Amino acid sequence: SQQGEEDPQALSIQEGENATMNCSYKTSINNLQWYRQNSGRGLVHLILIRSNEREKHSGRLRVTLDTSKKSSSLLITASRAADTASYFCATPTGANNLFFGTGTRLTVIP
Amino acid sequence: EPEVTQTPSHQVTQMGQEVILRCVPISNHLYFYWYRQILGQKVEFLVSFYNNEISEKSEIFDDQFSVERPDGSNFTLKIRSTKLEDSAMYFCASGRDGGGETQYFGPGTRLLVL
């Protein structure tokens, strides 16, 4: 079965620093997605990277995908206090649904 | 910007009672989903719905659960006889495309079963 596991489980940085989160998965995928969840709120889609892409940017976000290692990373540059949230990777599984990882809880200290 | 909405935001119920959680997906989306997240745990898939029928469901989605799209806008999740372990945050999501493409999530309904 698909398994998305993020590391670290928790990350605490100072505002302005970069934050890097990693995700590993087990089986072949056609895309990998990153979502953000503010405490007690819904999931917000951040970025989708396809299996034939190695890197993708969106604003201060940079995502990489290494299909040979079955891993992805999410880099948030110049972090802000508002970036404090949990970040999840998600991979398609079955016909339509997404399998979510365990998440990285990011705290950005002002 | 269109968004998925869910009601109620919070629901407290007694064990054994029926609950209905409501969702209004984004209007031009064709694929609809329910997920749940037990406090402190990962988001888990429950069911997907397309073309007025269930397209996929997880082991969690047993006979106590059902989904319905009663009209052109609402998408509901019913839990027939709630158990303590049903306490969780329930998220509705919708997507324009299936096949594991981007899904747009609602803010969730926090269900507490006493």
Yes or no: say if B36 and B110 are a contact pair by the CB < 8 Å rule: no
Number of Cβ within a 10 Å radius of residue B92: 29
Could you say which of B31, B58, B106 has the minimum Cβ distance to residue A42? B106
Task: Please say if the pLDDT value at position A97 is more than 60.
Answer: yes
Question: Best residue in A48, A97, A98, A104 to probe B by mutation, most B CBs within 10 Å?
Answer: A97
User: A43 touching B, CB under 8 A?
Assistant: yes
E strands, chain A, are 5-7, 10-14, 19-24, 31-37, 43-50, 55-58, 61-66, 71-76, 85-93, 97-100, 104-109
Task: Please say if the pLDDT value at position A38 is more than 70.
Answer: yes
My answer on whether omega of the bond before B8 falls inside 30° of 0, hence cis, is yes
A95/B108 touch (CB, cutoff 8 Å), yes or no: no
Task: Please say if the pLDDT value at position A47 is more than 60.
Answer: yes
* Sequence-separated (6 or more) residues with CB below 8 Å from residue A10: A104, A105, A106, A107
- Of the candidates B87, B61, B108, the one whose C-alpha atom is nearest the C-alpha of residue A43 is B108
Note the maximum CA span of chain A. Answer: 42
- The token pair that represents B9 in the structure block: 């935001």
A95 or A3: which leads in pLDDT? A95
pLDDT tens-digit series, residues B56-109: 999 999 999 999 998 878 999 999 999 999 999 999 999 998 888 999 999 999
